[in-house]
């Protein structure tokens, strides 16, 4: 993503009424274990399951956002965007020692304080960025990668049962004609023992 922002800059482109009252009911007694916290539900490893449909949507988002670029540089810019935002096939999320750690295949580990404090970080291209991560009030994990040229925001939303992870991406840059938005879907990875028992899951 950072390479994208640098390249674009260098190229110099622009209770309901009507319901009868019911008899008082005894309080419901809690049964079973407590519901898992947002940290517990979102922790773990997830595998990309969005298939060609989401790949096509990702490509379309890049094309749409760059349609108004000068034709001589449009193709170069699109290639650089795709290279810097390639889809991670696996994502792992962990919490500990006051940090949030996100490991996305192809990118350096993103490790920063869980209170959202920005830290210095390096992109996959080795460029300097400011990284911040935190769980927001809506129980989403939000990442922000900021440079002097623009910003990339990634939001991780886990399903109530913790089995599915939706990852939305937004890139904003002053030199981009439009923001770029796309969403990817992941499924919680099976345990090592279960995966080993089914060779079809091996890739």
Find the mean pLDDT for residues 125-151: 94
With a pLDDT cut of 90, the percent of the chain lying above it is 62
**Mean of all residue pLDDT scores within the chain:** 82
The residue extents of the domains of the chain are 40-189
Contacts within 8 Å (CB) and 24+ apart, 43-46: 43/93, 43/94, 43/95, 44/92, 44/93, 44/162, 44/188, 44/189, 45/90, 45/91, 45/92, 45/188, 45/189, 46/90, 46/91, 46/92, 46/93, 46/165, 46/186, 46/187, 46/188, 46/189
User: pTM of the prediction?
Assistant: 0.77
Position 80 scores a pLDDT of 87
Q: What is the pLDDT of residues 167-195, one digit of tens each?
A: 999 999 988 999 999 999 999 998 753 34
With CA atoms as reference, report the closest residue to 75 among 125, 27, 11, 26.
11
Q: Side by side, which strands form the sheet with 119-122?
A: 110-113, 99-104, 90-96, 44-48, 180-188, 164-173, 150-158, 141-146, 128-135, 119-122
**What does the pLDDT look like over 40-81, one tens digit per residue?**
889 999 999 999 999 999 999 999 999 999 988 899 989 988
May I ask the CATH architecture of the domain 40-189?
A: Beta Barrel (2.40)
pLDDT computed for residue 153 by the predictor: 97
């Amino acid at each position: 993503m950072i390479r994208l922002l640098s390249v674009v800059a260098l190229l110099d482109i622009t209770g309901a009424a009507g319901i009868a009252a019911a008899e008082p009911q005894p309080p419901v007694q809690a049964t079973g274990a407590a519901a898992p916290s947002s940290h517990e539900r979102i922790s773990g490893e997830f595998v990309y399951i969005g298939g060609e449909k989401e790949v096509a949507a990702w490509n379309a988002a890049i094309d749409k956002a760059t349609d108004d670029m000068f034709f001589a540089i449009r193709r170069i810019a699109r290639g650089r965007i795709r290279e810097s935002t390639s889809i991670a096939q696996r994502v792992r999320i962990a919490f500990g020692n006051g940090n949030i750690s996100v490991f996305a295949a192809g990118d350096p580990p993103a490790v920063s304080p869980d209170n959202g404090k920005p830290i210095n970080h390096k992109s996959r291209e080795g460029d300097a960025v400011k990284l911040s991560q935190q769980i927001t009030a809506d129980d989403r994990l939000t990442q922000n990668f900021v440079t002097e040229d623009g910003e990339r925001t990634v939001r991780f939303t886990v399903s109530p049962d913790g089995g599915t992870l939706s990852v939305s991406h937004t890139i904003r840059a002053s030199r981009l004609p439009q923001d770029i938005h796309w969403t990817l879907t992941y499924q919680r990875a099976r345990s090592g023992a279960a995966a080993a028992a089914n060779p079809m899951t091996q890739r």
